[in-house]
Amino acid sequence: MDGNGRWARQRLLPRLAGHSQGVESLRRCVRACVARGVRALTVFAFSSENWGRPAEEVSGLMGLLAKALAREVPELSRDGVCVRFVGDREGLSESVRNGLAQAERATQGNSRLVLSVCFNYGGRWDIAQAAAALAARGEPITESALCGALALAHVPDPDLVIRTGGEKRLSNFLLWQAAYSELFFSDLLWPDFDEAALDAALDWYAGRERRFGRTSEQVRAGLEPEPLRA
Ligand code: IPE
Ligand code: MG
């Protein structure tokens, strides 16, 4: 969800106003995904590297998270959304950690859409913590064991990854899980990413041929891809 700062700057507003608008955009996107039958949506809200931003912006983002949780959970629950937070909770304040746990508890019975919010998350952090967990249990580090130990093990790998804001990079998001994802880059700033933009991304995705390492002929002959080697 990139581009909140630029959205605000274009309007001569403080960066935090852009993040506020970003929350509105996320709420719209979640609703649109529910309406379109998307079962899993994973968003990158705060990266392990975002701590390096000015203190005022970091504390503003934490405050925004707390406010959004308090406000949105009832509606998310009504819409059948199960919220999960993915990331290093150790680095978060106790009140933020409590807020996350409360939102998870309040929505845990829902199954229409799993909304995973990556917060204090990094793809490298996730791979490293999964390897460390296996090592601590004395288990061999295989692909399938790692898959099960990742913080995002509760959802399948994403079919489609959307990055807004014009940059064409992953910036440490889903490094493991995006191995075979289709990557869609939008020049829209996140607060401007609306239902029409989502539909454009989904339409583009629908036209992709997913080969998982196989040939086009094999795919067109309807041969199922071999499961990725564990
Ligand atoms: C939002 O966009 C991403 C977050 C870290 C919350 P940015 O804050 O990176 O916006 P730009 O890139 O400065 O426009
Ligand atoms: Mg940015």
Residue owning tokens 């939008």: 186
In Å, how far are 3, 56, 132, 136, 150 from 129, measured between CA atoms?
Answer: 29, 29, 5, 10, 7
pLDDT higher at 225 or 91: 91
Active-site amino acid positions: 2, 50
The length of the chain in residues reads 230
For residue 61, the ligand 1 atom closest to its alpha carbon is 6
Note the pLDDT tens digit of each residue in 128-149.
999 999 999 999 999 999 999 9
Nearest residue by C-alpha to atom 5 in ligand 1: 46
pLDDT at 228: 58
In 3D space, the residue among 35, 16, 31 whose CA is nearest the CA of residue 72 turns out to be 31
The stretch 89-115 carries a mean pLDDT of 96
Write the single-letter amino acid at 15.
R
For residue 57, the ligand 1 atom closest to its alpha carbon is 8
HEC sequence for 49-73: CHHHCCHHHHHHHHHHHHHHHHHHH
Is the pLDDT assigned to residue 226 strictly greater than 80? Answer: no
pLDDT at 45: 97
pLDDT at 229: 54
Residue owning tokens 């705060």: 46
Q: Where are the domains of the chain?
A: 4-204
Q: Work out whether strand 40-47 and strand 113-121 pair parallel, antiparallel, or are unpaired.
A: parallel
pLDDT at 222: 86
In 3D space, the residue among 143, 146, 73 whose CA is nearest the CA of residue 115 turns out to be 73
Ligand 1 center–CA 111 separation, angstroms: 30
The dihedral built from the CA positions of residue 200, 206, 208 and 213, taken in this order, carries a sign that is positive
Instruction: Return contacts of 155-160, CB within 8 angstroms, 24+ apart.
Output: 155/40, 155/42, 155/114, 155/116, 156/40, 157/181, 158/40, 158/42, 159/205, 159/210, 160/184, 160/201, 160/202, 160/205
**Poorest-pLDDT segment among 59-63, 66-70, 141-145:** 66-70
- Please state, rounded to an integer, the average pLDDT across all residues of the chain: 95
Ligand 2 center–CA 50 separation, angstroms: 10
Question: Which ligand is in closest contact with the Cα of 43?
Answer: 1
State percent of the chain over pLDDT 70. Answer: 97
The stretch 4-16 carries a mean pLDDT of 98
In 3D space, the residue among 29, 50, 22 whose CA is nearest the CA of residue 162 turns out to be 29
Highest CATH level, class, for 4-204? alpha beta
Decide: 1 in ligand 1 pocket, CB within 6 A.
yes
